[in-house]
Amino acid sequence: MHAEEFTPAFTMEGQFIGFVADGPKLKYLKLLSSQREYWFKLPKDQRASEDWDLKPQEWIKVSGERKQDRKTGTFKLKAHEVHRTTTALASAPKPQAKILVCGKSDCWKRGAREVCQALQETLQQQGLDQHITIVKTGCMDRCKAGPNVVIMPSKARHTRVQPSDVPALVKECSQSKSLV
């Protein structure tokens, strides 16, 4: 017996995160909604990057269809239309997200300076520098486990942070409650 598919229409609102490319063409649009990341397959005639001028964190509404393979239980989301939602932009909450980096000498010698630089670059590249603030702090009393970083408002602590950890830290911070 073949697995069945059903295709209910859906509309979902959230913040645009970015695209996933397949070679020179865009294939998926990524949306953050209710602290979850969703991928939508783009229509075949809208896969050129010049078709789009969305910016990260912009509020959008995606309409399309959702397919489920009943055999595997997996879902696929296919976008038919994407619109900006200006009302959501106007009512978007002021984010209070911060990334605290210990700025004292033990952490600094262990690489906190490089972590700060990587944070600045990553936030700028992802268009998040207006939404997430980097704050240098005093000693966090974990000097031997430096560089020490705390994500706010979740207060999640991270020790022995390396520049290579920065993308994951930024993702964690951008998905915190204050940004959605």
Minimum CB–partner distance for residue 108 and ligand FES (Å): 7
Extract the tokens encoding 99: 């990334």
> Which residues within the stretch 4-63 sit at the binding site for ligand FES (CB under 6 A)?
none
CA distance 150 to 97: 11
Which of 95, 146 has the CB closer to ligand FES?
A: 146
Under rule CB under 6 A, residue 140 binds ligand FES: yes
Q: Does 139 bind ligand FES (CB under 6 A)?
A: yes
Q: How far apart are CA 16 and CA 62, in angstroms?
A: 10
Regarding 150 and contact with ligand FES (CB under 6 A), the answer is: no
Examine residue 142 and tell whether it contacts ligand FES (CB under 6 A).
yes
Of these, 106, 129, 165, 172, which contacts ligand FES (CB under 6 A)?
106
> Residue 124 Cβ, how far from ligand FES at the closest point, in Å?
25
Instruction: State the DSSP string of 153-177.
Output: TTTEEE-S--GGGHHHHHHHHHTSG
Number of residues that bind ligand FES (CB under 6 A): 11
Q: According to the binding rule CB under 6 A, does residue 115 interact with ligand FES?
A: no
Q: Least distance (Å) from ligand FES to the CB of residue 156?
A: 16
136 belongs to the binding site for ligand FES (CB under 6 A): no
Cα–Cα distance between 19 and 81 in angstroms, integer?
15
Sheet (strand 98-102) strand order:
133-137, 98-102, 149-152, 156-158
- Helix, strand, coil: what percent of the chain each, to 5? 30, 35, 35
Minimum CB separation of residue 171 from ligand FES in Å reads 23
Indicate the residue among 80 and 136 with the shorter CB distance to ligand FES: 136
Residues pairing with 41 in the sheet: 28, 78
Give yes or no for a cis peptide into 95 (omega within 30° of 0): no
Residues at the site binding ligand FES, with contacts judged by CB under 6 A: 102, 104, 106-107, 139-143, 146, 148
